[in-house]
Structure 1
Amino acid sequence: MPLWHLRQNPGSHQVRPGRFPVNTIASFSRRDFLRLSGMTCSGLILGFSAKGETSSSKNLSPDIFLTLEPSGAIQIYAHRSEMGTGIRTVLPMVVADELGADWEDVDIKQATGDKKFGSQNTDGSRSIWKFFDRMRTAGATAGFLLNQAAAARWNVDPGTCQRNASHVIHKESGKRIAFKELVVEAAKLPLPETNELVFKAPTERTYIGKGKKVVDFADMVSGKAVFGADVRLPNMLFAVVERSPVLGAQWKDFDEEAPLSVKGVSQVVTIAPFKAPHAFQALGGIAVLADNTYAAIKGREKLNTQWGTSEHDKYDSDAYRDELMATAEKEGVVVRQKGDYKEAVKGLTTHSASYYAPHLLHQPMEPPVATADFKDGRCIVWAPTQNPQAAQDVVAAALKIPASEVTVHVTLLGGGFGRKSKPDYVAEAALLSQKVGRPVQVVWTREDDIQHDYFHSVAALKLEAGLDKNGYPEAWRMRTVFPSISSTFAKGVVQASAGEMGMGFSDLPFDLPHILCENGPASAHVRIGWLRSVANIQHAFGIHSFVDELAARAGIDPLTYLNRIIGRDRKIDLKAEGAEYSNYGAPIEKYPVDTARLKHVLNTAARSADWGRPLPAGQGQGIAVHRSFVSYIAIAVRVRVLGRKVLIEQVDLAIDCGLAVHPERIRSQMEGSVVFGISLAMMGKATMKNGAVEQSNFHDAPVARITDAKPKINVSLIQSDAPPGGVGEPGVPPFAPALCNAIFAATGKRIRSLPINEYDFAEA
């Protein structure tokens, strides 16, 4: 077995790296799915053909999700990247459940990148809600054909057959026959019509809603699992790259000879600077190649590179903060308008506040790394990437070869958080391999990762409410100002996209007669990219901190206040209020903005936290609720504050993500979201002076450690019959405001700027 292959997992669940496609399966109808499926005479295969062909033999396209072989093996392809969520287990589990397969017969293979798998970009908390129905359909279609084949053998009605443990069973007689004995016959049958498929009722499911052990766990804990840095190829070189500390600057001079004095260093090679807009291109720089990473790093230290100027040389994040805050005071582009705020507020008492969130870092435990082997006009890549299709495209563009000549194998990811959906590091490896004629592994050090990140955008918010005599808002205006992710892909962009506005801002769920949402302009001076939960981070922080301020001003319990302003149970029609709302790409009819679900998680978290009970001096509770990625999450936090030290005692989280496909994985993701939220809220920050990032490693860009992240975490998983929603990201946004509100309850000190560790509560 090649060294880059992932080893055998417990049972027969073998997983191999893969790559990504371009089409999106989610855009197909179920009818299209069936017509794009096919079979071969050697085994029953179900998948997608870009040409829309179906065949019983050689005409089948090899891009598949499910293959049943006469040997009894059931191969299910996992087409999403595994970075700790368990998705490589969960989606195959859905197929196996509808099929009626014995889990021990399932052989999970990591899909290679191919258009027929649809989108494999594993971000945006989309894997389950986009592909749940498709995976069920694959299993149910194969099961239908197996039932037909068994019924023909027994001369019975197929409707009297059911499937379990890789067998078809005749309910009336008790006859059983293994799938493997039916494969050849089933492969010759015509595909069913849409209305012929019968899906399992919830009570009949074996795995969905219950879960299975993550197939990679044993290899992970035993050290057998293959991550990006574990890839080894014959004759491979290791490379580190010296990149400009300021975005867009080019080198003027460097010492090409000095690195060669380091034992093990073989070459110094340049990578051409990117051409704006930078998108996912390699940044450019000087690469030092060696037979080990240590030599490459020590060689890089001897480059003595002199850098030229850049349009971003003067970027100072502290000064830019003042600029953003000033912009938030001015009228912006209206992104949602209900009623007439300006007229309504004239006769009302107003309260306003401004909030600030800094640039944030991804900081996955495994920094970017990629291995490439360019040979004879083809390039094979091994990388821990969330987006192999983008990697395929960016490598093809960099090498000036067709994308069809690029193969991207996906290893396990040691964390992603959105960073590894941007494959600039993959392009670096490919370019270097092409230049030196050998396989090359590009390694990013922790310093590289921090100083050349795609940073979460710095943001300023200004909120103002016109209040009635009881202190509740009748009119609400808010402005958000931040450099847009769109600046990564188009030069000169200064306004946020509608997608970013729909992340906790223009989709404000409050039942108020007058709402005005505006977006102010902001230019980007570093690479801006999506981080786990994206613009929801700053919007949830500002909005739910402000709600808590309004409740305190009115002398009303925050839980009571929140329930009141969320208001009546309803499905919000944002388009009727002029908001361009993408709903995270999900159909609004299937995934409406439902305030009943929002209030349900809010009150569930409050009950779990024993909200409102008397607490000793120095302790406090805070609460926040947020909808993102078509799921609903509320978080209540209890803290104890001792001088500068904030001790997070307990976190109570309630989530309604629709159908809970794998409850244990959902709970794990929620616990992880809390820890991630602690890092962002307590200590998350990147600053720039003269265009360069000031932080370099965990000593000055810390993340939560065990001593910081040991609260008791209670997760309430709402049982729901709604379609499954996102899980990986929605737990992050409500944490920061809930924590800040708890600190206010304990100290009386408001936090309007993150991170929290910059405050001294002894002065409160």
Structure 2
Amino acid sequence: MSTKQRIENIDRRRFLKLTGLAAGGLVLGASLPATQPAWAAEGDVAGDLNLFVTVHSDDTVSIVCHRSEMGQGIRTGLPQVVADELEADWRKVNVVQGLGDKRYGSQNTDGSRSIRRFYDTMRNMGASARTMLEQAAAQQWKVPAGECKAKNHAVEHGPSGRRLRFGELAAAAAEIPVPEEKSLRLKSSDQFNYIGKPVDTVDTPDMVVGKAQFGQDIHFDDMLIASIERAPVLGSSILELDDSDAREMKGVIAIERLDGGAEPPLFKPLSGVAILARNTWTALQARKKLKIQWSETAHHAHNSDDYLAALQRTIREPGKTITDHGDVEKAFAEAGDRHNATYTVPYLAHATMEPPAATARVSEDHCEIWGCVQDPQSVQQNVAGALGLKPEEVKVNVTLLGGGFGRKSKPDFVVEAALLARKMQRPVKVVWSREDDIRHDYYHAASVEHYEAGFDGDGKVSGWLQRAAFPSISGTFQAGVDHPSTSELDLGLSDMPFAVPNRRMETQRAEYHTRIGWLRSVSNIQNAFGVCSFADELAHHSGERPDRFLLNLIGPDRHIDPSQGDFEYGNYGEALEKFPVDTARLKNVLRRVATRADLDLRGDHSEGNGEGWGIAVHRSFLSYVGIATRVEVQNGELAIGEMHCVADVGLAVNPDRVHSQMEGAMIFGMSLALMGEIKMENGAVSNSNFHDYPLLRIHQSPPLSVEVLASDEPPAGVGEPGVPPVAPSITNAIFAATGKRIRELPINKHLKIG
């Protein structure tokens, strides 16, 4: 490579060689059981060895981060946990980026689960290494191990006052057997040096001086750049190609077809024509000269506006019953008052600041990848399948990611690079333009949700119906899926926390016409918009202040199990015993965020004079988040005056990063709510760049505040839970300010955005 790679990626063999025992290094091997470890994601294949900690003879410590860094600070957070239990001096810690390797357990950096799934594991890794160092010191001093204690990057013998630095013990400690997990002595919380405290991210220094390396930054002197014209409609393939004009451009090395079009789309590349050139500009300009005729498919008739209009009609009809508690029909029949509403969310794109990019080098029995990927093991599996290799023959170097939001856990762009590199027999970097990214995403589903509620004679909600229709992510992997999956209903709909005795959840049919994927907070986006908006509507319909109405609607403190009959609540893959659906925590967040909005001082919360507050609270990814927003609406123009967040995420390993993630989620959520809309005409996306898929600008971003509640509960999700309550808090505030209820996103369809 012509530029120095700043993120060190090393495989196990090189890891052992560089830090090996002969050089006086300690390598901690974490033996995994033959079955999946409890902290591994579904689909993981457990191995016999994972490597996380190395102590060098020069007194430095290398800690492997096996997850992907996309701005959330995980390359700091996970090593921070290890270093604390190890009693390492953070100034002497080097973070090593792990390659794709099934022995690490899950490396899929999405679902807000890196800390929650690996917190205990990383503590054990640090405690194991610390125990081995203490035992090595005890052997050298010929004293009981119980008299030796690691502290501040050294081991001390209390009775004699002797002290040995970690580096002095590294070689001897390497000979100590890895202790059994049940024998480890973990710190109490009052002994933590780093856990629960703000720690500067390890990547910031290189980022601010331009030395950090992202997927787009990879360069080899013999590398070709590929720009690909892809099928505009799902399932299309190439009927005719005229590439004569493109071939005449100086610098064009080759033009290659990529075959695609098969459904379900999975993570396979779309059909396309790749221009391979010596530089990006040439590849992009030559691509414009291609003349391609694409085949038609059933998806060519898809129009997003017509699609949502059709769903709005069918959503009012009875659907497929998923759960049914009590007798909703009887409650509605006996209700003295009823209210209903329908909410719509359009297709949405990830729009990461760094579009997808991957570089590949392929030989007969090996492939090496460099890329901004969220799931290197999925890359191994998909590239191996495309090339006819074994997964272990695919080496994946993970760069920094310029944003991910779920897009870069889908490795179609990496498979493109691998296929082209094999054809060219030299390194190839596939570069996606902004237009490519907007037009060929795995989109967040367009959705319509319908709600009905009935009030009893005491003015309490006695019956509740919720019905959802949106194309399922499952359609990406399985043909014929035409209803939302139960795993998508689990995200803020089935676990609705309200104490309503009679309630029913249904789904309606929604056909699949484009690649659908998970986007930051996934189905919580539409589910929270519907549930939180409808609750606010019911509050105003009842003439009550929204926060007080919500407290009564949530009801008594309790733990909820949404499972019923054949429907089993997934709880984000975690046990309800460890992460219960806890209404007390939700109500605490609600009270705190209402205080932020000064609702006690503002009376009924609804002035109707062009200024108003809106609140929304939501549990997602096992965390509880409330958002309070103040808006001003004058002459049809909306300005957001301020936004406040209160978050209960359990133990916050690095509070500074939790604050940053919540601020980022608020900005992300505002972009989606105010302006986010992907439009499709004749099966193809009509948006192309930020001029017609705008993101929030600096002048549109209001003052933000974040309060992270202290908690002894286990660490929960952080990256995604701040997004869902944002949209309903804004639309609820707009109603408070104007009396106008917005049920269809984005908001710029109804008001000008200041």
Normalising by structure 1, we get a TM-score of 0.92
- Specify the alignment match of 2:103 in structure 1: 116
Alignment of structure 1 residues 456-535 onto 2, 5 Å: 456-535=444-523
- Specify the alignment match of 1:592 in structure 2: 580
Alignment of structure 1 residues 60-99 onto 2, 5 Å: 63-99=50-86
Alignment of structure 1 residues 128-527 onto 2, 5 Å: 128-348=115-335, 349-527=337-515
- Specify the alignment match of 2:637 in structure 1: 645
Q: Is 1:697 aligned with 2:689?
A: yes
CA distance in 2, matches of 1:388, 1:193: 29
Match of 2:307, as an amino acid?
Answer: Y
Cα distance, 1:18 vs. partner? Answer: 6.7
Match of 1:649, as an amino acid?
Answer: G
SS of alignment partner, residue 519 of structure 2? coil
Q: Is 1:629 aligned with 2:621?
A: yes
CA distance in 2, matches of 1:353, 1:161: 66
Cα distance change, pair 353–137 in 1 and its aligned pair in 2 (3 A): same
Cα distance, 1:563 vs. partner? Answer: 0.6
Query: Retained in 1: the 8 A contact 2:29–2:178?
Result: no
Q: Is 1:686 aligned with 2:678?
A: yes
CA distance in 2, matches of 1:194, 1:432: 46
CA distance in 2, matches of 1:229, 1:235: 16
Q: Is 1:753 aligned with 2:741?
A: no
CA distance in 1, matches of 2:545, 2:697: 33
CA distance in 2, matches of 1:445, 1:432: 18
List per-residue Cα deviations over 1:236-286 (Å, max 9, x = no partner).
111111111111111211222210222211211101114221110011211
Match of 2:241, as an amino acid?
Answer: F
Q: Which moved more, 1:86-95 or 1:575-584?
A: 575-584
SS of alignment partner, residue 254 of structure 1? strand
CA distance in 2, matches of 1:170, 1:164: 10
Q: Is 1:721 aligned with 2:712?
A: yes
Cα distance, 1:742 vs. partner? Answer: 0.3
- Specify the alignment match of 1:29 in structure 2: none
RMSD of aligned alpha carbons: 2.1
Q: Is 1:658 aligned with 2:650?
A: yes
Cα distance, 1:508 vs. partner? Answer: 0.7
SS of alignment partner, residue 721 of structure 1? coil
CA distance in 2, matches of 1:736, 1:604: 19
- Specify the alignment match of 1:735 in structure 2: 726
List per-residue Cα deviations over 1:307-341 (Å, max 9, x = no partner).
11112010011111122112211222222222121
Cα distance change, pair 389–178 in 1 and its aligned pair in 2 (3 A): same
SS of alignment partner, residue 615 of structure 2? strand
- Specify the alignment match of 1:43 in structure 2: 25
SS of alignment partner, residue 305 of structure 1? strand
Query: Retained in 1: the 8 A contact 2:334–2:456?
Result: no
Cα distance change, pair 398–274 in 1 and its aligned pair in 2 (3 A): farther
Q: Which moved more, 1:552-561 or 1:374-383?
A: 374-383
List per-residue Cα deviations over 1:38-87 (Å, max 9, x = no partner).
x967532223456869xxxxxx9774111223332311101010100010
Q: Which moved more, 1:221-230 or 1:400-409?
A: 400-409
CA distance in 2, matches of 1:278, 1:6: 34
List per-residue Cα deviations over 1:678-707 (Å, max 9, x = no partner).
100000000111101111111111011111
Cα distance, 1:572 vs. partner? Answer: 0.6
Cα distance, 1:377 vs. partner? Answer: 2.8
Cα distance change, pair 65–116 in 1 and its aligned pair in 2 (3 A): same
CA distance in 2, matches of 1:47, 1:684: 46
Match of 2:718, as an amino acid?
Answer: V
Cα distance, 1:463 vs. partner? Answer: 0.3
Query: Retained in 1: the 8 A contact 2:487–2:570?
Result: yes
Match of 1:44, as an amino acid?
Answer: L
SS of alignment partner, residue 242 of structure 2? coil
Cα distance, 1:501 vs. partner? Answer: 0.9
SS of alignment partner, residue 646 of structure 1? strand
- Specify the alignment match of 2:537 in structure 1: 549
Cα distance change, pair 569–18 in 1 and its aligned pair in 2 (3 A): farther
Cα distance, 1:3 vs. partner? Answer: 5.0
Match of 2:703, as an amino acid?
Answer: K
CA distance in 1, matches of 2:381, 2:178: 34
SS of alignment partner, residue 301 of structure 2? coil
List per-residue Cα deviations over 1:461-487 (Å, max 9, x = no partner).
010011123433111110011000000
Q: Which moved more, 1:735-744 or 1:400-409?
A: 400-409
Match of 1:375, as an amino acid?
Answer: S
| Percent of residue pairs identical | 48
- Specify the alignment match of 1:744 in structure 2: 735
List per-residue Cα deviations over 1:80-118 (Å, max 9, x = no partner).
101000101110110000000011221211001111101
List per-residue Cα deviations over 1:519-548 (Å, max 9, x = no partner).
112111000000000000000001111011
Among 527, 536, 540, the residue aligned to 1:539: 527
- Specify the alignment match of 1:33 in structure 2: none
Query: Which structure 1 segments of 5+ residues have no match?
Result: 8-14, 21-38, 54-59
Cα distance, 1:154 vs. partner? Answer: 3.6
SS of alignment partner, residue 425 of structure 1? helix
List per-residue Cα deviations over 1:167-222 (Å, max 9, x = no partner).
11234443321112222332333333444211111111111011321111111111
Cα distance, 1:400 vs. partner? Answer: 1.7
Query: Retained in 1: the 8 A contact 2:238–2:271?
Result: no
Query: Retained in 2: the 8 A contact 1:6–1:226?
Result: yes
Cα distance, 1:578 vs. partner? Answer: 6.0
List per-residue Cα deviations over 1:633-660 (Å, max 9, x = no partner).
0111111112232111111111111001
CA distance in 2, matches of 1:724, 1:5: 36
Query: Retained in 2: the 8 A contact 1:18–1:411?
Result: no
Cα distance change, pair 158–551 in 1 and its aligned pair in 2 (3 A): same
Cα distance, 1:576 vs. partner? Answer: 4.9
Match of 1:538, as an amino acid?
Answer: Q
Match of 2:25, as an amino acid?
Answer: G
Normalising by structure 2, we get a TM-score of 0.94
Query: Retained in 1: the 8 A contact 2:619–2:721?
Result: yes
SS of alignment partner, residue 397 of structure 2? strand
Cα distance change, pair 195–243 in 1 and its aligned pair in 2 (3 A): closer
Query: Retained in 1: the 8 A contact 2:608–2:736?
Result: no
Query: Matched residue pairs, number?
Result: 730
Match of 2:411, as an amino acid?
Answer: P
Cα distance, 1:579 vs. partner? Answer: 3.9
Q: Is 1:674 aligned with 2:656?
A: no
Cα distance, 1:609 vs. partner? Answer: 2.4
